[in-house]
Structure 1
Amino acid sequence: MLRNLIILGMLAVASASFPILYQSNPQMLDGLLKSAVGTRPAVETQTDLNLATVPDRPATPRPLGRKVVVAADVRGHFTSAFRLNGRTVDGMIDTGATLVAINSSTARRIGISLNVSDFKHEVNTANGAIRAALVTIDRLQIGKITVDGVQAVVLDDKALRTNLIGLSFLQRLEKYQVENGALLLVQ
């Protein structure tokens, strides 16, 4: 059982790393694919070509935009490292959260200083109503996706152990969707 969990964990890490590696160096993967295809024996095929239909120059490729794929962990949650105001922070993407929610410790780490009087808003959580401070995160990044000026709430550390990346970030993307056990984010 433990061996199966370790193997499953290694597969999850490998599948989560593949999109990140591709985003950081797509030419490397293209080169590997071309070399793998180039090593196959050539198969002769006869094709009728109508040269009148071949364009003078190839069509300009459409930019694909910025994409990030976040693999689900063993619990089915989409957790990842993010950069908030330039600082790396672990968080969980929560499509049920209206706003990005961070705890007080994270807020201090990313340069947001708060007073007790800033906690004047009441928010409803799964554990009931709690006091929160409304803030704006200057920059939220995951992979190559960057969104500036993201609204967030700050909760007490006891009320929020895991930082949540909610709809105030997700709705500013071109799309986000779950496919094949992973969350696709597109900017």
Structure 2
Amino acid sequence: MNTDLGGSALFYLVLLILPISALIARRVPILRIVLSLASWALIIGLLVIVVGQRERFDPYLQRIASVLKIADQTVVGRETRIRMAADGHFWARVTLDGVPRRMLIDSGATVTALSTRTAQAAALDVRNSAFPMILNTANGQISAQTATVRELRLGDIAARGLGVVVSPAFGDTDVLGMNFLSKLKSWRVEGQTLILEPHHHQDFT
């Protein structure tokens, strides 16, 4: 009796497995395609997120961004557009007398400020002003020297003869201040994008 019950159970099990197997065999290729597409979409989505937040990660990810053309600074028509960084600030890629630098755009800074290292790299003629230059910063008052940048380029914008202050107290941070922004035709923030628009003549002094 046990043998008959075992055989019957096995028979019904086979009958159940056969149609299920046939059904799976038909659907597996479709499932594979769907899963493959979903996996690639997930990988690409994660890559875009990581590259978009690359300031938090290794600097080598900037190369990936350039390859994928995920630009944080672009020129559209006569406007230069800068996307907000992960730290909530706007950082511009500029050249100072041919030396590339990443500068913080700060409308609260009256004058453009450079680190000693940047001033040396650009070979600026740094000197003491006729009167002591004292600046009020978040860390208190600091003394600074002055210099003039022959040409600062940001996107299609070129500023010539731009006055700057230089101090080791700035650390490694370079700041674009209002003496640069005030020379533009306009500047505004739309969403998470800073838009800089020069006058009809792009170069200004």
TM-score of the superposed pair, with normalisation by structure 1: 0.66
1:100 aligned residue: 112
Q: Compare relative contact order (CA 8 Å, sep 6+) and give the higher one, 1 or 2.
A: 1
* Paired residues, number: 139
Q: Which residue of 1 is the match for residue 179 of structure 2?
A: 168
In structure 2, the CA distance between the partners of 1:168 and 1:104, relative to structure 1 (3 Å rule), is same
1:87: Cα distance to partner? 1.2
Cα distance in 1 between the residues matched to 2:166 and 2:144: 5
Instruction: Name the counterpart of 1:121.
Output: 133
Shift of 1:75: 1.3
Match 2:188 to one of 147, 156, 177: 177
How far the C-alpha of 1:180 sits from its partner, in A, is 1.9
CA-to-aligned-CA distance 1:69-111 (integer Å, 9 cap, x gap): 0100111111121111121111111111101100111001111
Matches for 1:5-16 after TM superposition, within 5 Å: 7-11=48-52, 14=70, 16=72
Please give the residue correspondences for 1:1-187 in structure 2 after superposition, counting only pairs within 5 Å.
Answer: 7-11=48-52, 14=70, 16=72, 19-20=74-75, 23=76, 66-114=78-126, 120-156=132-168, 158-187=169-198
- Matched AA of 2:84: A
Shift of 1:10: 2.8
- Could you tell me how far 1:143 is from its partner in structure 2? 0.9
Once the two structures are aligned, what percentage of the paired residues are identical? 28
Once the 2 structures are TM-superposed, how far is the Cα of residue 4 of structure 1 from its aligned partner?
8.2
Q: Over the residues paired in the alignment, what is the CA RMSD in angstroms? A: 2.5
Which ranges of 4 or more aligned residues in structure 1 deviate by more than 4 Å?
3-6
Following superposition, the deviation at residue 170 of structure 1 comes to: 0.6
Cα distance in 2 for residues equivalent to 1:9 and 1:141: 28
Residues 5 and 91 of structure 1: CA distance in aligned 2, closer, same or farther (over 3 Å): farther
Counterpart-to-counterpart distance in 2, 1:171 and 1:5: 39
Give structure 2 stretches of 5+ with no counterpart.
Answer: 1-43, 54-64, 199-205
Structure number having the greater helix percentage: 2
TM-score by length of 2: 0.60
